Amino acid sequence: MSWLDADEPAPVDIVNPGGSADAVLLCDHASPRLPRRLGDLGLSEAARLDHIGWDIGAAAVARRLSALIDAPLVLTGYSRLAIDCNRPAGVPTSIPALTGGIAVPGNQALTAAARQQREDALFHPYHRAIADLLDRRRAAGRRAVVLAIHSFTPNLGAPRPWQIGITYGRDRRLAGALIDVLRRDWPALTVGDNQPYAVTDSGDYAMPIYGERRGNLHALIEMRNDGLRDEAGQAEWAGRLAACWQALAPALGGLDRLPVSSGP
């Protein structure tokens, strides 16, 4: 018997898999939807629809960007409250018992079997889809530049001044180039360099696995979600990111040849 009911949406959505762009777009926190068998996890609707449940506006921007640059896009089908697909399976924040200062009753004291069910139903299908897409690209001799599309809350203990942040771990090559283009072409924006936080092995999954480990150029793009609350804002950010991509696409070969470095 499947953990998801037959009439529930799939755990992964793949858009434009044959896209012509070198970019491969990921959206790890695309949906606030919870699997039926988890109910509401003991949370209010307002809490589930806030940032603890998903990255507000990120999927809408990612879908627009996919269409603008003709890139494949892989999105999660369910909430990060069920399981966070941008965390290694098994770490405490993978299935959060406490997130954003809010207790999640339905995630308390889970058995190993219950955790495994969520991993098998939600986490692994998403990551198999990404790995399969990247494997097919490599087999065809095509470059894959991995861009993860996220959003962040404007205030977390203190105001966050950045409208956008480009984050990375041990490889700043693409991230640094994106930061340079954003600061050059939109000087009025406050652009974060590894803000609001840096990529880490325990706090992230996609960038270490699909970027660093596979040797692909990569960057995690974080947009402040107060600019993504309506279609106009989503379209504006998708347009900016598409312009960044068009500016950088001719330089990808040169970036590939640069030594890997985590600093400027």
pLDDT of residue 1: 59
Residue 150 lies in a domain: yes
In the numeric block, which tokens belong to residue 107?
A: 């995630």
For residues 10 and 164, give the distance between their C-alpha atoms in angstroms, rounded to a whole number: 30
Residue 235 lies in a domain: yes
Residue 88 lies in a domain: yes
CA torsion, ordered 224, 71, 133, 78, to nearest 10 deg: 40
Residue 193 lies in a domain: yes
Give the burial string for 78-97 (b: 16+ CB within 10 Å, else e).
bbbbbbbbbbbbeeeebbbe
Residue 1 lies in a domain: no
Residue 67 lies in a domain: yes
pLDDT along the chain (264 residues), means of 10: 92 98 99 98 98 98 99 99 98 96 96 98 99 98 98 94 98 98 98 97 97 98 98 99 97 92 72
Whole domain around residue 154: which residue ranges? 12-256
Sequence letter at residue 76:
T
Largest Cα–Cα separation, the chain: 54
pLDDT of residue 127: 99
Residue 129 lies in a domain: yes
Cα 193 to Cα 74, 181, 221, 261: the distances in Å are: 25, 12, 10, 14
For residues 221 and 241, give the distance between their C-alpha atoms in angstroms, rounded to a whole number: 9
pLDDT of residue 157: 84
| C-beta of residue 229 within 8 angstroms of C-beta of residue 56 | yes
Tell which residue, 204, 201, 203, 217, has the closest CA to residue 261: 217
List all residues 6 or more positions away from 13 whose beta carbon is below 8 Å from its beta carbon: 30, 74, 75, 76, 77
* CATH code of the domain covering residue 192: 3.40.630.40
User: How many domains are there within the chain?
Assistant: 1
In the numeric block, which tokens belong to residue 58?
A: 């990120």
Residue 7 lies in a domain: no
pLDDT of residue 59: 99
Sequence letter at residue 42:
G
SS3 167: strand
